Structure 1
Amino acid sequence: MLALLLVASCGLESGSAVPLRVGPGSIRPIPALDGVRITVGSKDFTEQNILGYLIEFALTAAGAEVRDLTDIVGSNSLRDAQLHGQIDIAYDYTGTGWINYLGRENPVPGSDEQFTAVRDADLTAHGMVWAAMAPMNNTYAMVANPGTAADKSITSLSDYANLVNTDPDAAATCVGTEFNVRQDGFPGMARKYDIDTGKVRKQIVQDSLVFQATADGNQCRFGSVAATDGRIPALNLKLLTDDRAFFPKYNAALVMRKSFADAHPQVIAVMEPISRLLTNESITELNRKVDIEGREPATVARTWLIDQGFVTPG
């Protein structure tokens, strides 16, 4: 109840207008969506804001009356807002749905398998529909300082684990506070890769500080990240291969209440071609434009949709 009161107090009952204009492109006006009021939500970080705006502009071009409720603080607040009808549609992550919302401890191997599992279970348990899964997988990952990766021939997590166990000082590691304690983070990774945790030279820092600290190579040589963060290519960090397939799959997919999906099946049809183009490479580049170039998420999302021909400037 307290969470719902906080959601309501933040103005989530009505939302605001879509921030930029768009017109039809390959997405054409759909009579069944003409004037239909649809509220779009997202969480409060770069990638989620971009994904939210992609939905907003696409459905606006299709003729819906879209309201903007992006930038909600935290997964649980977004979820509560969806369950209680304040938000109609959002992109969320399959791993988050499985572990956080459904309380399952063990992720399902494989992106398609994880999507199917969360789709079926969430529909049964909460009447929530998952659809139009994208190839992008915003899972946890480890990165290496480029010089260290080259000097020590580190390309995979198995290579990293071997370095920790044989030359701990060369494997100094920065980890985010949440990654440090989550079972799908460092503790589980250490078990999976037989890392001697007693030898790890580990520093716990804010997630935002991991990137530059790893790139500098002074404080740490390795760091924990989200795999689609735009700062990885911008700082030339080397993403390590998860060669034992430890990290859960966090593919983005549309989430909505069954009543909304049944009433407006056209929404999924509009969004499916967009989801198909959301690869790790494409979303990482969009994230980079925001986090490195300082551009606004709404502008980045709109420009990409225009470049792909889905919408026009309006």
Structure 2
Amino acid sequence: MNRRTLLGGLFAAASVPALAACSSGITSLDSSGGGSGGGSGSSAGGLTIGTANFSENQILGYLYAGVLGAAGIKTKVRPNLGSREIVVPALEGGDIDLLPEYQGSLLLYLDDKATDTEAGAMQNTLTTVLPGGLEVLPYAAAEDRDSFAVTKETAAKYGLTSLADLRKANGKLVLGAAAEMKKRVVGVVGLKDRYGVEFKEFKSLDSSGPLVKGALKKGDIDVANVFTTDVDVIENGWVVLTDPLNLIPSQHIVPLIASRKADAKVRKALATLGNVLTSEELTKLNRLVDKEKKDPDAVANTWLKSKKLA
């Protein structure tokens, strides 16, 4: 998940950790609610959609563009901008207008002391901690949580089924993840504070990307941060460790938008997409891009047409 420099070097001085993402959820979506605003913005000038630097988020960005385009709204997608530490300030600054986000990760980015883990509660809390001028629209059925996985061999060797079990192997296991996971609550910090887990070593790789998955396959790491919609988890038979203490919050896909652009037309289009897009469907789209190497834009457009959303 390498960063690509866009927006005319706007972010050249920013730090660049990868975005941690985030199982189907249930949501009630309507065309006018779900955020802190009431649809008084205007999309007449079009929207610029930004995405993080991994394939699923790119797919989501093009899905947003497709449904908005079908509603007669002009859009432009700026993919691969980088991490949340980059894209959220860009949204605040007006360089982009809309982002596909993940509830739990966004909430912890805004308030690292937040304790909500249930989707509805997090949605309510998000409306109170977002910077002025931004709002979240109703969250989608689709969810993509962070998770921590080990190989079957490692699970058998140490008796691992849950994150709590990692404590039995304190000082013996190597964790691989994106660099920022070393300092995030859903990462080294939370695993130690909530579960008492201490690793032998942390290797800065990527989250659910080719580096961390390759390292897990080779045995260079013992525990990998992967996303629940990653098709490699099932295909490799990796054991996803359960989270009995609810360290990892719900991660429903949620549109994060500048209120000035959030008119009723935008709300309705994104709500319609959110009702149709499930975790299972998102996993299928990820497979087409990650495994079959298809273009995210084409994959998104084909899927929208198949669902009669474009």
State if a TM-score over 0.5 links the two structures. yes
- Judge conservation of contact 1:157–1:242 (CA < 8 Å) in 2: yes
CA deviations on 1:131-167 (whole Å, 9 max, x unpaired) are 12023343332001133335665332223333x15xx
Aligned length: 273
Residue 97 of structure 1 deviates from its aligned partner by 3.2
Contact 2:43 2:266 in 1 (8 A): no
Counterpart of 2:141?
Answer: 135
Q: CA deviation at 1:246?
A: 0.8
Question: Whose radius of gyration is greater, 1 or 2?
Answer: 1
Counterpart amino acid of residue 194 in structure 2: K
For residue 307 of structure 2, what is the amino acid of its counterpart? Q
2:225 maps to a residue whose letter is S
For residues 290 and 306 of structure 2, the distance between their equivalents in structure 1, rounded to whole angstroms, comes to 20
Q: 2:253 aligned with 1:252, yes or no?
A: yes
Aligned 8 A contact 2:147 2:241 in 1: yes
Residue identity in the other structure for 2:147: A
Whether contact under 8 Å (1:7, 1:77) holds in the other structure is: no
Partner of residue 26, structure 1 = none
Distance 1:103 1:148, change over 3 A: closer
Relative to structure 1, the CA distance from residue 154 to residue 280 in structure 2 (aligned partners, 3 Å threshold; closer, same or farther) is farther
Partners in 2 of 1:182 and 1:236 — Cα distance? Answer: 27
Give the drift of 1:305.
1.4
Deviation string 1:16-61 (CA, Å, 9 cap, x unpaired) is: xxxxxxxxxxxxxxxxx99752222222221111110001111111
Aligned 8 A contact 1:231 1:292 in 2: no
Structure 1 residues 160 and 304, CA, compared in 2 at 3 Å: closer, same or farther?
A: farther
Return the offset for 1:82.
2.0
Percent identity, aligned pairs only, is 23
Q: Tell me by how many angstroms 1:295 deviates.
A: 1.4
Question: Could you tell me which residue of structure 2 aligns to residue 64 of structure 1?
Answer: 73
Judge which range, 246-255 or 44-53, deviates more. 246-255
CA offsets 1:183-239 (integer angstroms, 9 cap, x no match)? 3312221231233x2xx33341412322122234x3233222233334323433222
Letter in 1 for 2:162: S
The whole-number CA distance in structure 1 between the counterparts of 2:297 and 2:259 is: 28
Preserved CA contact (<8 Å) 1:230 1:286:
no
Alpha-carbon distance between aligned partners in 2 of 1:135 and 1:229, rounded to the nearest angstrom: 17
* Alpha-carbon contact 2:51-2:80 (below 8 Å) kept: yes
Post-superposition offset of 1:63: 1.6
Identify the residue that residue 20 of structure 1 maps to in structure 2: none
CA distance in 1, matches of 2:249, 2:96: 26
Q: Does 1:94 align with 2:93?
A: no
Structure 1 residue 43 and structure 2 residue 43: aligned?
no
Map residues 118-157 of structure 1 onto 2, 5 A cutoff. Answer: 118-122=126-130, 125-149=131-155, 154-157=160-163
Query: 3-state DSSP class of the match of 1:72?
Result: coil
1:191 to 190, 193, 206: 193
- Tell me how far apart the structure 1 counterparts of residues 112 and 175 of structure 2 sit (CA, whole Å): 29
Could you say if the C-alpha distance between residues 213 and 130 of structure 1 is closer, same or farther in structure 2, counting changes exceeding 3 Å?
same
Q: Could you tell me how far apart the structure 1 residues matched to 2:237 and 2:111 are?
A: 36
* Pick aligned residue for 2:176 from 160, 164, 174: 174
Unmatched runs of 5 consecutive residues or more in structure 2: 12-41
TM-score of the two chains, using structure 2 as the length reference: 0.76
Aligned residues of 1:89 and 1:255 also touching (Cα < 8 A): yes
What's the TM-score once normalised by structure 1's chain length? 0.76
Equivalent positions of 1:205-220 (< 5 A) are 205-207=204-206, 208=209, 209-216=211-218, 218-220=219-221
In the other structure, the counterpart of 1:113 is 121
Q: Per the alignment, do residues 80 and 267 of structure 1 end up closer, same or farther by CA in structure 2, a change over 3 Å counting? A: same
SS at match of 1:228: coil
Q: Distance in 2 between matches of 1:60 and 1:41?
A: 15
2:285 is aligned with 1:286: yes
| 1:139 maps to amino acid | R
Contact 1:34 1:62 in 2 (8 A): no
Q: Distance in 1 between matches of 2:135 and 2:278?
A: 22
**SS of structure 2 residue aligned to 1:43:** coil
- Bigger mean CA deviation after superposition, 201-210 or 146-155: 146-155
Classify the secondary structure of the residue corresponding to 2:185: coil
Q: Which has the higher strand share?
A: 1
